[in-house]
């Protein structure tokens, strides 16, 4: 029997512009997360870049139940490559659409 994977999505804001569509930057972020979460937890969480609506916002997907652990790991990421960076989790949701809507609302407000 094949079970449907239940995912959670996290809207994250970066204090500096980063381009995660660039493979090097994404690998560097995932490497940091694996280090902070522990490799086993990282592979169980199955963290992926789901979307990057702008250069300071991105959406990560992960398996349900690992949100807290990823949120904490993102708090401790302070350097990507040579750049000093701060990552802030803005919202968690079960659908990517609601996060895109939340992002659209944020950009309208600011």
Partner 1 sequence: MAYFDLAAMQESAVKSLEKRLGFKRIFCLGSDAELMDNTNLQQDGRRKIIKDDSPEMLAGGLKRNDVVAVMTGERSLSGKELETLKEIGKPLLIPIARITCASESERKNELRRAKGTVREAMLHGVPIALASLAERQECLMSAQQMLGIGGLLGLEGAAAQRTLGVLGDVL
**Measured between alpha carbons, how far apart are the two ends of the chain, in Å?**
47
Compute the least distance from the CB of residue 20 to partner 1, in Å: 17
User: Which tokens go with 99?
Assistant: 């996060």
DSSP strand pairing (7-14 vs 48-54): unpaired
Radius of gyration of the chain (CA): 14
CB 23 within 8 A of CB 67: no
CB 45 within 8 A of CB 69: yes
Residues numbered 37-76 forming contacts with partner 1, rule: CB under 8 A: 68, 71-72, 74-76
Compute the least distance from the CB of residue 70 to partner 1, in Å: 10
CB 85 within 8 A of CB 14: yes
Question: Applying CB under 8 A, does 7 fall inside the site for partner 1?
Answer: no
Question: Applying CB under 8 A, does 15 fall inside the site for partner 1?
Answer: yes
Which residue among 7, 13, 25, 30 contacts partner 1 (CB under 8 A)?
13
Question: Applying CB under 8 A, does 78 fall inside the site for partner 1?
Answer: yes
Question: Applying CB under 8 A, does 89 fall inside the site for partner 1?
Answer: yes
Which residues of the chain form contacts with partner 1 (CB under 8 A)?
13, 15-16, 68, 71-72, 74-76, 78, 84-86, 88-90, 92, 106, 109-110
């Amino acid at each position: 029997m094949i079970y449907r994977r239940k995912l959670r999505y996290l809207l994250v804001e970066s204090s500096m512009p980063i381009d995660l569509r660039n493979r090097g930057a994404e690998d560097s972020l995932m490497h940091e997360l694996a280090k902070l979460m522990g490799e086993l937890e990282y592979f169980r969480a199955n963290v992926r870049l789901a979307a990057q609506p702008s250069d300071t916002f991105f959406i990560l997907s992960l398996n349900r139940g690992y949100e807290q652990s990823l949120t904490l790991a993102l708090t401790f990421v302070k350097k990507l490559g040579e750049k000093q960076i701060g990552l802030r989790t803005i919202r968690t949701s079960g659908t990517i659409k609601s996060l895109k809507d939340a992002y659209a609302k944020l950009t309208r407000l600011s």
